[in-house]
Structure 1
Amino acid sequence: MSASGVAGAGHGGGRIPIRRTYGIEMNVLLARPDGIGDQILCLPSATALKRAMPQARVTFLSSVYAAPVLHHHADLDEIWTVTGREPLRELIAMFRRGIDAVVFLKPFRRLMWAAFLARVPIRVATGYRWYSVLANRRIYEHRKDFSKHEIEYNVGMLRGLGVSVGSAAPPRLVLTDEEREAARRRLSGLGVPRVVLHPGGFAARRWRIESYRDLAEHLQRAGMQVVLTGSPGEAAQFSKDVLSQRPLPEGTVNLMGTLSVRELMALIAESHAVVSGATGPAHIAAGLEVPNVSLFDPRRNNLPTRWKPLGFGVVLRPDVPTCEKCIYEACPYWDCLDRLTVETVAEQVRQVIAKRAPLKVVHV
């Protein structure tokens, strides 16, 4: 078996008959109830599946939090959600809702167990976990080598359905005219260009949140309009660590903690650039064809090769050695992301707005 092979189990390893339901060729569930960015990078799998099997009914199993980013996508017929706290019996009942095949784009063990107990005819998953025996179509491809983009890995899982998918298209997100108009009204008092700063993700190895305030000042002096976004928790942390020390520059619009996911999407769509870490808003911007400046730390599991947004803009990465994991103050490069100066980020914002060039990776 090659490193990228597909193995079958059950029924002697032969093809499992596909159940026909109401004239639909196949009911397929794509499963990855995960974060916003992770799920955006799964959308090309739905597009590739619809291209290969136009009559298939494609459902996406999402986390409750991230599900709104998938709404109105032409290649998804339905979206199911889970919280991760459901009893096993509820998950089994869910998988018995007429599903012919489930593709686990990420191998969640309880979900795989539920699909097995529900006797879903085709269950596709990686072959490299101890619980992979719960799948009867197994894909043998290590993602930990980081040789491809996450989209390519996700689309490659469709091989377990016996379809040829070809190349993967970048993800595209969909907004309604009403959502865009509401964002325009919200931003009506601001001039252009408008830049969204999303200082989210307060775990170690993120750009200092004080730097986002300094960046707002720098951009406004350069004639740009700044909007801050983030979750309610991030808003509270930002207020405690930053605003208690010094207020934002006059004219900055602080919408942290006030927007739904769909409102954030629409706000980004009506802006001219987004600055964030390696997180969901960077992929939202890419999916809406808005330039972004993404700040990536040097950990190996955050390599741009696998995780960069696929759109316009730039990934900034400190010019330090790639590390296997963060060892905090013991590392001689503990200040890695702080080496990305406010002036450097501001200049990249100016460039991505002016050029709207395909995304590139820059080591600074």
Structure 2
Amino acid sequence: MTNGYPFLEKNFLISRPDRIGDVVLSTHLPVNIKAHFPESKVYMLLREYTRDIYVNNPYVDGIIIFDQKEGIFSLASKFRDLRITHALMLLPNERINYALALAGVKYRIGSGFKPFHLITNVKSVYRRGYDRELNEGQYCSDMLRKLGIPVNSEQSVIYLSDEEKKEVIKIRKELLGDCRTLTGVHYSSGGSAPNMPPEEYLLLAEHLKKMSSTKVVFTDNVSSDKIKEAGFTFINENLPLRKSILNFAALDFLVSASTGTMHIAGALGVKTIGLFCPLPACKPSLWGTLGNKARYILPDESYCSRRCPGDPKKCDFAGEGGIDHVRVSNVLREELLS
């Protein structure tokens, strides 16, 4: 018996077929598993477009791509071939749940209460009843604790190879020019969070451009003609995620709404300035970055009672007490001078 389990082989599957920010907030799990079970194997089950977040992670033994069309029996066969013994289902998924049960995975931990968890006798971690505010990444940690695995670190980390680190140095040198700091501005959010309109981000960039000490670049994958015409560069335009990750790693600061982009930058140690809504489902205590230096900008307390549209995704922070380029610029100026 080792560490409370009556068998030597321990092969973990962490299932997170989710969006970028959610996946980044799970990156601390493998290192904690390996710290407790050094001889174990850890596999990630991810969507294709998020796999680059875990590339070069020294604590992950393999990445399985989740195909939305793949059948239960095919998935179960993969899990059996890998001899999975423990599964953490960070995002409830009925097909994955049944495939794990069919594969004979003994220790299965799920998130929340779902009827298919009950049918397959999954142990669940519940979020209701908490009297303290936890980040999404910290909720993920509770699954490890459910298995008796101590959590020593909850810092999000994206790992770079030695060659990639050299490339980051080269990228930073080329982008910086004669400036001392490199600031990324990310104007889009994919409709996933409240956000300033693109025009405010352009005003922010023009305001920052007047500060000779910092170089401003945009980090969106899709560019804006209006912003381009103003003379700003989109360093990640049409690039694959891993290439974009290297560009993010070259930054000193990133300004953005609460998006996956913010979490990528935070996991690379970049200082982030995030625009947030105070509603319970959107607030920074739940969706902020873990491990880096971060500043969060929220509207004034009275703003939401006066201007809230009822749907956070429709909020543009406009009006008195909201968030605009001047307010964001003042926060970034404080950081640059500190």
Deviation at 1:344, TM superposition (A): 1.4
Query: 2:210 aligned with 1:221, yes or no?
Result: yes
Deviation at 1:119, TM superposition (A): 2.1
Structure 1 match to 2:54 = 70
Normalising by structure 2, we get a TM-score of 0.85
Query: Which one of 152, 163, 167 corresponds to residue 138 of structure 2?
Result: 152
Report if aligned partners of 1:194, 1:225 keep a CA contact under 8 Å in 2. yes
Query: Which one of 283, 292, 299 corresponds to residue 318 of structure 1?
Result: 299
Structure 1 match to 2:36 = 52
CA 1:323–1:53 in structure 2 vs 1: closer, same or farther (change >3 Å)? farther
- How many residues align structurally? 323
Deviation at 1:31, TM superposition (A): 0.8
Report if aligned partners of 2:204, 2:325 keep a CA contact under 8 Å in 1. yes
Distance 2:163 2:311 in 1: 51
1:17-28 pair list within 5 angstroms: 20=8, 25-28=9-12
Residue type at the aligned position of 1:99: I
Structure 2 match to 1:101 = 86
Query: 2:216 aligned with 1:230, yes or no?
Result: no
Deviation at 1:334, TM superposition (A): 5.1
Secondary structure in 2 aligned to 1:28?
A: strand
Query: 2:155 aligned with 1:170, yes or no?
Result: yes
Structure 1 portions without partners, runs of 5+:
1-15, 356-364
Q: Percent of aligned positions with the same letter in both sequences? A: 25
Structure 2 portions without partners, runs of 5+:
none
Structure 1 match to 2:258 = 278
Structure 2 match to 1:348 = 331
Distance 1:315 1:269 in 2: 20
Deviation at 1:137, TM superposition (A): 4.2
Residue type at the aligned position of 2:185: L
Residue type at the aligned position of 2:138: E
Distance 2:310 2:42 in 1: 47
Deviation at 1:63, TM superposition (A): 1.3
Distance 2:285 2:7 in 1: 38
1:62-141 pair list within 5 angstroms: 62-97=46-81, 98-126=83-111, 128-141=113-126
Residue type at the aligned position of 2:88: V
Distance 2:136 2:195 in 1: 21
Report if aligned partners of 1:265, 1:284 keep a CA contact under 8 Å in 2. yes
Distance 1:160 1:281 in 2: 30
Structure 1 match to 2:282 = 302
CA 1:260–1:247 in structure 2 vs 1: closer, same or farther (change >3 Å)? closer
Report if aligned partners of 1:92, 1:118 keep a CA contact under 8 Å in 2. yes
Deviation at 1:312, TM superposition (A): 0.6
Deviation at 1:17, TM superposition (A): 7.5
Residue type at the aligned position of 1:216: A
Report if aligned partners of 1:18, 1:121 keep a CA contact under 8 Å in 2. no
Deviation string, structure 1 residues 282-303 (Cα, Å, up to 9, x no partner):
1122111111111112332111
Distance 1:123 1:334 in 2: 39
CA 1:140–1:69 in structure 2 vs 1: closer, same or farther (change >3 Å)? closer
Distance 2:264 2:37 in 1: 27
Secondary structure in 2 aligned to 1:196?
A: strand
1:322-341 pair list within 5 angstroms: 328=309, 335-336=316-317, 339-341=322-324
Residue type at the aligned position of 1:264: S
Residue type at the aligned position of 2:211: A
Distance 2:171 2:261 in 1: 19
CA 1:85–1:330 in structure 2 vs 1: closer, same or farther (change >3 Å)? closer
Distance 1:337 1:283 in 2: 24
Deviation at 1:200, TM superposition (A): 2.2
Deviation string, structure 1 residues 242-299 (Cα, Å, up to 9, x no partner):
x1xx75433x222343322122221121111011111112112211111111111233
Distance 1:151 1:322 in 2: 29
Report if aligned partners of 1:36, 1:66 keep a CA contact under 8 Å in 2. yes
Deviation at 1:327, TM superposition (A): 7.2
Deviation at 1:165, TM superposition (A): 1.0
Structure 2 match to 1:359 = none
Query: Which one of 270, 288, 295 corresponds to residue 268 of structure 2?
Result: 288
Residue type at the aligned position of 2:205: A
Query: 2:184 aligned with 1:200, yes or no?
Result: no
Residue type at the aligned position of 1:220: K
Distance 2:149 2:279 in 1: 34
